[in-house]
Amino acid sequence: MGPDAVIEVSGLVKRYGAFQALHGIDLTVERGEVFGFIGPNGAGKTTLIRTMLDLIRPTAGSVRVLGLDSHRDAKAIHSRAGYVPGELVLWDRLTGRQALEHLAGLRGGAGASRIDALAERLDVELDRRISDLSKGNKEKIGLIQGFMHEPELVVLDEPTSGLDPLVQQEVFQIVDEVRERGSTVFFSSHHLDEVERIAERVGAIREGRMVAVDTVAGLKARAARRLEALLAGPVDAQEFRAIPGVRDVSVSGRHLHLVLTGPIDPVLKALARHRVDSLSAPEPELEEVFLGLFRGEGGERAA
């Protein structure tokens, strides 16, 4: 394991009876990264997160977290990491404050002094019973317990699914601060805007297999992109068909249309031999990239 790897997953397999949820996952997350983990329902996101934190045991393979063995050193990992589960099960009869103070006590008091400030930022009432809180407000209590002890690693399972946009922004801000402190954030999400806003790298999982691990920009660069140009005069389609990574070239009068799966530069150089009156090559949406990956196009297995 490299000195800067905070999460290292190797050959991870998880079976639930006859059903195989994870098919040999390899993944490394470095210190100081905000890593987004995305996949359709049932892809295996929660299973991987729960295995990483030793809440369930793998069928095969290994996980190291913060340089420690996820199973043997689970106690040490839990005191240095924060975990915000998708559905937090808390003591319903306690107030938020009582629950958070109890959790801080279990960690030797770490984080107790930050409870009020975080509650204010996330706009949640601490002195009501948890059973009386709305879903979103319960999630906020979950977020406070995950961040309050300033852990070296925060693992969040769909952290903002029930939060309103203002509170989501505040969570993103807190994540930025965590990264600025040099800590690492691993979060699963269905929301591409969220991934784009806060993650540097993204892992995409489908049917228990990683189909891509890349930066947001790198993922977009792999996606097919349409280019249209209006030229001053007629153009020979063949000139563009010969460029690697170019397909579906069509020419109609002065209009050129093509689909680009490689770098744009050679196409621009070819266009520069002509007079170009207008050009359009919009960046693909991250959503298109993921839809392609989840349909099985352009993933690492397909590459």
CB of 197 closer than 8 Å to CB of 173: no
CA–CA distances in Å: residue 23 to residues 44, 60, 232: 10, 10, 54
Q: How far is it between the farthest Cα atoms of the chain?
A: 76
Q: How far apart are CA 121 and CA 154, in angstroms?
A: 18
CB of 277 closer than 8 Å to CB of 230: yes
β-strand 153-157 against 184-189: which pairing, if any? parallel
Q: Contacts with ligand ATP in 137-156 (CB under 6 A)?
A: none
For the CB of residue 211, give the shortest distance to ligand ATP in the complex, in Å: 13
Q: Which is nearer to ligand ATP, 14 or 225 (CB)?
A: 14
Enter the tokens of residue 298: 């352009």
Q: Contacts with ligand ATP in 46-85 (CB under 6 A)?
A: 46-47
Q: How far apart are CA 286 and CA 303, in angstroms?
A: 19
For the CB of residue 295, give the shortest distance to ligand ATP in the complex, in Å: 17
Q: How far apart are CA 203 and CA 39, in angstroms?
A: 9
Q: Which is nearer to ligand ATP, 23 or 274 (CB)?
A: 23
For residue 119, what are the contacts with CB-CB under 8 A and spacing of at least 6?
96, 125, 126, 140, 144
Q: Which is nearer to ligand ATP, 87 or 228 (CB)?
A: 87
Q: Which is nearer to ligand ATP, 54 or 170 (CB)?
A: 54
For the CB of residue 45, give the shortest distance to ligand ATP in the complex, in Å: 3
For the CB of residue 86, give the shortest distance to ligand ATP in the complex, in Å: 6
Q: Which is nearer to ligand ATP, 111 or 208 (CB)?
A: 208
x-marked contacts with ligand ATP along 12-51 as a string, rule CB under 6 A: ----x--x-x-----------------x-xxxxxxx----
For the CB of residue 205, give the shortest distance to ligand ATP in the complex, in Å: 7
Q: Which is nearer to ligand ATP, 115 or 205 (CB)?
A: 205
Q: Contacts with ligand ATP in 157-176 (CB under 6 A)?
A: none
For residue 243, what are the contacts with CB-CB under 8 A and spacing of at least 6?
262, 266, 267, 270
Question: How many residues contact ligand ATP, by CB under 6 A?
Answer: 11
Q: Which residues bind ligand ATP (CB under 6 A)?
A: 16, 19, 21, 39, 41-47
